[in-house]
Chain A
Amino acid sequence: QQQVKQSPQSLIVQKGGISIINCAYENTAFDYFPWYQQFPGKGPALLIAIRPDVSEKKEGRFTISFNKSAKQFSLHIMDSQPGDSATYFCAASLYPTGANNLFFGTGTRLTVIP
């Protein structure tokens, strides 16, 4: 059973546009929600993360919006650039205990067209 559901599977955005990737979860015990960015041939790298005590976190052009009641969270990339073209994974974790408690979404392949 997929603990975190991610959509869309792929996304094409024009340069300067807004990219939006959505994730949903069921387990209300999740307490940490990171996003990872993966370029082709590289390992995923932590991009930005949020805890459920805030509804939004912004780092540069990247923003996480979190809706605790709806059990949904999303990544917004403002002013998308061709260099943002990558695969993005959302994840959810049970904090702080357990060794196998980080659950990934299925990934979104973002292509930003110049």
Chain B
Amino acid sequence: SQTIHQWPATLVQPVGSPLSLECTVEGTSNPNLYWYRQAAGRGLQLLFYSVGIGQISSEVPQNLSASRPQDRQFILSSKKLLLSDSGFYLCAWTTAPGAYGYTFGSGTRLTVV
């Protein structure tokens, strides 16, 4: 069966520090991968998506970047965190969005202090 792993679950980082969030998918090949951010009490903001290794599309220009070094691995990074980067970060995957929608990970709660 397919599963998605996302870690860490919670993270408290000081302003100006780097960030690395990791997401891996098991049980499928060549998935489409997505990073979303959700501010407190708000909707889902698509940050990045990837259709293959090394292929990254950015939806919102910002302080973050994404990489896909392996087929089932998706990494969200920042060189210097801002207070506004705080939020709930969600990784998601699908093989066919219109057929099955997305499967989300359990999320990472990031607090920048």
| 8 Å CB interface, A37-95 against B | 41-46, 49, 89, 91, 93-95
Complex contacts, A45 vs chain B, CB 8 Å: 104
> Which B-chain residue is minimally distant from A46 (CB atoms)?
B101
Contact of B98 with A31 in the complex, beta carbons under 8 Å: yes
| 8 Å CB interface, A13-38 against B | 31-32, 34, 36
Choose among A41, A42, A94 the residue that contacts B98 (Cβ–Cβ < 8 A).
Answer: A94
> Which A-chain residue is minimally distant from B44 (CB atoms)?
A104
Interface size on A, residues (CB 8 A): 28
Complex contacts, B41 vs chain A, CB 8 Å: 109
A43 to B6: give the CA distance in the assembly, Å. Answer: 10
Task: Say which size band chain B's interface belongs to.
Answer: 20 to 34
Contact of A89 with B43 in the complex, beta carbons under 8 Å: yes
Contact of A93 with B98 in the complex, beta carbons under 8 Å: yes
A5 to B30: give the CA distance in the assembly, Å. Answer: 31
Choose among A49, A97, A100 the residue that contacts B101 (Cβ–Cβ < 8 A).
Answer: A49
Against A, the Cβ 8 Å flags (1 = close, 0 = not) of B23-66 are: 00000000010000000011110100101000001010000000
Contact of A101 with B98 in the complex, beta carbons under 8 Å: yes
- Identify which of B12-20, B73-81, B105-113 touches chain A: B105-113
Complex contacts, A97 vs chain B, CB 8 Å: 98
Contact of B104 with A43 in the complex, beta carbons under 8 Å: yes
Contact of B97 with A106 in the complex, beta carbons under 8 Å: no
Q: Which residues of B come within 8 Å of A, CB atoms?
A: 6, 32, 41-44, 46, 49, 51, 57, 59, 88, 90, 92, 94, 96-107, 109
Extra A-B contacts (7), CB below 8 Å, given A95-B97, A102-B97, A104-B43 = A36-B101, A41-B109, A46-B101, A95-B98, A96-B99, A99-B49, A106-B43
Q: Which residues of A come within 8 Å of B, CB atoms?
A: 31-32, 34, 36, 41-46, 49, 89, 91, 93-102, 104-107, 109
